[in-house]
Structure 1
């Protein structure tokens, strides 16, 4: 009998995509069933995924895991405010605590895969050129989503000490950039003009959606314990991204940049995540050597390629086609 995989947050655009693809190839990879759980139903079809409507912030998550005989958990229900409705703090932190409590009580869970974020490193003027997995944040994790993800990883480490028999893989990914996948940077680039802090030109990294799906699939089907950064090689400057998209930059004072950028985007009818202002000021880049040398995965797309694919996709007349295929 194959693995039974539970995917949290399956109504999210990326989680739905991952779950569908995992279910589609599951039989060949030793997976007998994929179960997706979320408080709201997904917008599109999930293919061979069994959907369970439930709130992971409640003890019902344990009942679902027991009924479905779940032995592998992929935790994708950790996201910034802009990518879903409701209280993200509760969903991220309380939801993770309840999920880990259910895993703690389960006698058959043997693997946990956490889709974390490079936001765990924060963004500050004291950052190194590249973050490796052994480094910690120098600043920018005291509020919002970065604080959430730091807490989530802390709870997972605590769980690993209590249940050393459960294999844990943590993937710290840069943001996926794809027109059909909800992320703060995707929403930011959709603005007709892009706020920028005067005197700063941050380095940005992106992750291709196919690389993200492939890494998580590998973590589910093979034993890859540890924490690994995931991003496309290279960086792109905010000024370069704006120029290639044909979006003019709006220079704003760095002091009070977050509130000023929010006001400007509201006037334009656009959106900017409250957690983006430090990234759009100081930038961030991660080193993926451990992903290659220890995990054994080679990202197939550089940051430059991810951005160019996105730029091509959002050209007038192309975006609707991409959305229909997602």
Structure 2
């Protein structure tokens, strides 16, 4: 089979599953090797899957002969054990970078994030030149920012074409159950997401959120994989969405609540093991800058098909229905697993 040979780490998650589908549809791509920590029987044309943990397994044998490596492997949990996420996210990504260099892969495309950016909430929309020092109070932005520095060194030492994708918040219907488990935990069943169960949302003055559909971000990865672009790309659908618009989608009313009270509530829920998302993640969301995504539109020819309201409407419907996908990370909600999850949240251990 002729065409590009592309290897994707983290190939079965929210973004990875969409990326391998997008690559499969590209005429210039001959084959895709999807790597994941867990085995999958999911089938995609032109795609083969293999089990590989980026933090410890031999990556060289998978990268030999590849034209592009797309690095998407990432752990969001356990947030209470940052050494575990660091081992996978930072040490694992560093191993990916080294294996790319050792095997002479011509191109590396890495999943960075809006979370890598330094705080800039009150700034005009920022370009890819905005500092990437992250927010130090949470593991996710610390790890994303650290890897930006690792890539700086990598580019100085190698001739590899490097692309850094910095997307906003990525959603789709089939990721709904997975993302509820990751960020909301056992005490927010998806069926409660909607009127009248969430009657009010807090108004956070000036806060807007940049979102995009997983299939749209996947198209940007595919375009960069078959192209010759280098550097960083901000990715988000326009316009940024407000809390008032989110409330309208949920059929909720927006009320004035001091931000410090919201953060205190998140902190209390975190300490009580009621939610897995840390107060530092709340701080991150309220501090990230708004991104200017014009470079992706000009240099990649990338135009998102889904509006922010369409993305969230689809995601909320997925939450209500317990939607999931065909891989282990995207497993839909099941009654037995929900019971185990709630028991774990209450402090019981199987």
TM bracket (short chain): 0.7 to 0.9
Deviations 1:221-258 (A, max 9, x none): 11111211000011112243134213567876544754
Q: Counterpart of 2:281 in 1: which secondary structure?
A: coil
Deviations 1:142-178 (A, max 9, x none): 53101111111211221111112x1111111011122
The match for 2:50 is 52
The match for 1:178 is 172
Q: Is the 8 A contact 1:5 1:35 kept in 2?
A: yes
Mark the CA change 1:80 to 1:93 in structure 2 (over 3 Å): closer, same or farther: same
Mark the CA change 1:34 to 1:218 in structure 2 (over 3 Å): closer, same or farther: same
In the aligned structure 1, how far is the partner of 2:267 from the partner of 2:228?
43
Does residue 294 of the first structure (1) align with residue 299 of the second (2)?
yes
The match for 2:311 is 306
Following TM superposition, by how much is the alpha carbon of 1:309 offset from its aligned partner in structure 2, in angstroms?
3.8
Following TM superposition, by how much is the alpha carbon of 1:124 offset from its aligned partner in structure 2, in angstroms?
5.4
Q: Is the 8 A contact 2:76 2:182 kept in 1?
A: no
Does residue 221 of the first structure (1) align with residue 263 of the second (2)?
no
Does residue 206 of the first structure (1) align with residue 202 of the second (2)?
no
Does residue 103 of the first structure (1) align with residue 104 of the second (2)?
no
Mark the CA change 1:203 to 1:46 in structure 2 (over 3 Å): closer, same or farther: same
TM (normalized to structure 2)? 0.75
Following TM superposition, by how much is the alpha carbon of 1:307 offset from its aligned partner in structure 2, in angstroms?
2.6
In the aligned structure 1, how far is the partner of 2:252 from the partner of 2:78?
21
1:131 aligned residue (101, 118, 126): 126
The match for 2:266 is 261
Q: Counterpart of 1:70 in 2: which secondary structure?
A: coil
Deviations 1:86-121 (A, max 9, x none): 9222111001111111111113x1111112111111
Q: Is the 8 A contact 1:39 1:55 kept in 2?
A: yes
Does residue 74 of the first structure (1) align with residue 88 of the second (2)?
no
Q: Is the 8 A contact 1:205 1:284 kept in 2?
A: no
In the aligned structure 1, how far is the partner of 2:325 from the partner of 2:250?
18
Q: Counterpart of 1:278 in 2: which secondary structure?
A: helix
Range with greater deviation from structure 2 (135-144 or 189-198): 189-198
TM (normalized to structure 1)? 0.80
In the aligned structure 1, how far is the partner of 2:107 from the partner of 2:72?
14
Following TM superposition, by how much is the alpha carbon of 1:80 offset from its aligned partner in structure 2, in angstroms?
2.9
Gaps of 5+ in 1: none
Q: Counterpart of 1:60 in 2: which secondary structure?
A: coil
Following TM superposition, by how much is the alpha carbon of 1:304 offset from its aligned partner in structure 2, in angstroms?
3.2
Does residue 246 of the first structure (1) align with residue 251 of the second (2)?
yes
The match for 2:6 is 5
Q: Counterpart of 1:146 in 2: which secondary structure?
A: helix
Following TM superposition, by how much is the alpha carbon of 1:297 offset from its aligned partner in structure 2, in angstroms?
1.9
Count of residues paired in the alignment: 314
Following TM superposition, by how much is the alpha carbon of 1:3 offset from its aligned partner in structure 2, in angstroms?
1.7
Q: Counterpart of 2:144 in 1: which secondary structure?
A: helix
Q: For 1:153-168, what aligned pairs fall within 5 Å after superposition?
A: 153-164=148-159, 166-168=160-162
Following TM superposition, by how much is the alpha carbon of 1:17 offset from its aligned partner in structure 2, in angstroms?
2.8
CA-based RMSD of the aligned residues comes to 3.6
In the aligned structure 2, how far is the partner of 1:271 from the partner of 1:251?
25
Does residue 41 of the first structure (1) align with residue 39 of the second (2)?
yes
Q: Counterpart of 1:33 in 2: which secondary structure?
A: strand
Gaps of 5+ in 2: 331-350
